[in-house]
Amino acid sequence: MKELQFDAVVIGGGAAGMAAALELERSGCSAAILEREDHLGGILMQCIHNGFGLQEFNEELTGPEFAGRFIEKIKSTGIPVYLNTTVISLRSEGSAGQNHKELFCVSPDQGVMKISARAVVLSMGCRERNRGNVRIPGSRPAGVFTAGLAQRLVNIEGYIPGKEVVIIGSGDIGLIMARRMTWVGCKVKAVVEIMPYPAGLTRNIVQCLKDFDIPLYLSSQTTNIFGNDRVEGVEVTPMENGAMVPEKKFRIDCDTVLLSVGLVPENELSKEAGVELNSATGGPLVDAGLMTNVEGIFACGNVLHVHDLVDYVAEEARLAGSFAANWLRGGHPCMQVRLKAGPSIRYVNPGKLNPQGGNKIFMRSLIVKNDATLELKIGARVIKTLKQRHVQPSEMITVELGPKDFENVSLNAESTLEFSLA
């Protein structure tokens, strides 16, 4: 069995993995990328629409173009990249302070490989929720796909999975696929969303549904999928005040159903390594240095929490790479203060902040509101107030906090800060 050793190993070669590896390399650490696909780039490679890179490159790029810029940098640095290499096991061995990580991977070329590293950056992305996760009743005909799978079939494999399509869930992948399926000649009959507001970005509602006159049924539950060999239609039951109204249910005929009902971080390896998970995000709980509870294991990108923009993924991953490099050099953890989600906030990431340094905090709202007020408090005392023009659960809120924000606040390791929205 081949055995390798690096300062750090990055699991996953999407936008997050590449940005983290580049930062590790820039900081003088030996780092390798392990990627199960036969190419770098991750999910970006099937996102052939534009809308990527406005912040990172100040240009509007397609997914493959955005990935291509990082792939070129990786090539020019000579960072070792192991493609077709799936990490099947991740463990932390040894006692705290002296532990090392042991990874087992498989690849057709190398068979089983054992890799040792002091630090690991988790960047395995996320996976789509499927019909089982949302318990849609009905028969089990062919023609039900997740939206991301349909995207791969159309954009990479060159197959069109059906002709008349209903999309269940209004997440961004479903919205993008509504437009894509229309462009390839399908009839997209409706997008059906259980919540009273869309789950995707406003720009995607406009550019992918409104521009193509595709109806969006909000507050509507899919209560049946019909068909034996192949999908023949779906039953939709409107909801009023949170309850279904069966007398208003209706049927939409279709031969294809695409599910866009959420994403969950890929967390099997994290769990095996003993990483504590955040029940609100499904990803690891991390501190202000993006380190998990397992010393030397860091996380970034969609494996940490599902991001709507790849630019934020790259920014967060660079931070993870630089925190990992600092930790490898023996950098001591800074003073950290707990950060929690208060009223109307679904989650706050990371779960801690460093009051003496720069912090970029990501959070998601539980409410839809114009002219909202975001407050950061310690107990009843308000430390910072930020006006938000519009908030909704699908649009990530980002806040930068630095030492100036805490100048007159006495904090210690037991303090807890709370974000709330009203």
Taking alpha carbons only, the member of 238, 262, 261 closest to residue 250 is: 238
Report whether 154 contacts 147 (CB < 8 A).
no
Question: Does 51 interact with ligand FAD (rule: CB under 6 A)?
Answer: yes
Binds ligand FAD by CB under 6 A, chosen from 32, 113, 168, 173: 173
Question: Does 302 interact with ligand FAD (rule: CB under 6 A)?
Answer: yes
Report whether 236 contacts 192 (CB < 8 A).
yes
Binds ligand FAD by CB under 6 A, chosen from 7, 23, 25, 35: 35
Q: Of the listed pieces 69-77, 168-176, 339-347, 363-371, which binds ligand FAD according to CB under 6 A? A: 168-176
Structure token pair of residue 166: 């209903």
Pattern of binders to ligand FAD over 256-295, x per CB under 6 A? ----------x--x--------------------------
Q: Of the listed pieces 10-18, 96-104, 213-221, 288-296, which binds ligand FAD according to CB under 6 A? A: 10-18
Compute the radius of gyration of the chain from its Cα atoms. 22
Pattern of binders to ligand FAD over 69-108, x per CB under 6 A? -----------------xx---------------------
For residues 221 and 224, give the distance between their C-alpha atoms in angstroms, rounded to a whole number.
Answer: 9
Binds ligand FAD by CB under 6 A, chosen from 23, 36, 101, 406: 36
C-beta of 42 vs 355, nearer to ligand FAD: 42
Largest Cα separation within the chain, whole Å, is 68
Question: Does 37 interact with ligand FAD (rule: CB under 6 A)?
Answer: yes
- Nearest approach in angstroms of CB 181 to ligand FAD is 13
Binds ligand FAD by CB under 6 A, chosen from 10, 47, 61, 325: 47
For residues 222 and 230, give the distance between their C-alpha atoms in angstroms, rounded to a whole number.
Answer: 17
Binds ligand FAD by CB under 6 A, chosen from 7, 29, 146, 151: 151
Taking alpha carbons only, the member of 220, 226, 213 closest to residue 242 is: 220
Binds ligand FAD by CB under 6 A, chosen from 8, 9, 10, 17: 17
# of chain residues touching ligand FAD (CB under 6 A):
37
Which amino acid type is present at position 74? I
Which residues, at least 6 apart from 138, have a Cβ–Cβ distance to it below 8 Å? 224, 225, 226, 234, 235
Question: Does 172 interact with ligand FAD (rule: CB under 6 A)?
Answer: yes
Question: Does 307 interact with ligand FAD (rule: CB under 6 A)?
Answer: yes
Structure token pair of residue 37: 């696909």
Question: Does 313 interact with ligand FAD (rule: CB under 6 A)?
Answer: yes
For residues 297 and 46, give the distance between their C-alpha atoms in angstroms, rounded to a whole number.
Answer: 29
For residues 354 and 356, give the distance between their C-alpha atoms in angstroms, rounded to a whole number.
Answer: 5
Sign of the alpha-carbon dihedral angle for 259, 263, 266, 267: negative
Binds ligand FAD by CB under 6 A, chosen from 8, 9, 10, 12: 12
Which residues, at least 6 apart from 422, have a Cβ–Cβ distance to it below 8 Å? 343, 344, 372, 373, 375
Binds ligand FAD by CB under 6 A, chosen from 8, 9, 10, 15: 15
Helix extents (H) in 153-253: 172-183, 202-204
Which residues make up the interface to ligand FAD (CB under 6 A)?
A: 11-17, 34-37, 42-44, 47, 51-52, 63, 86-87, 123-125, 148, 151, 172-173, 176, 266, 269, 301-302, 307, 309-311, 313
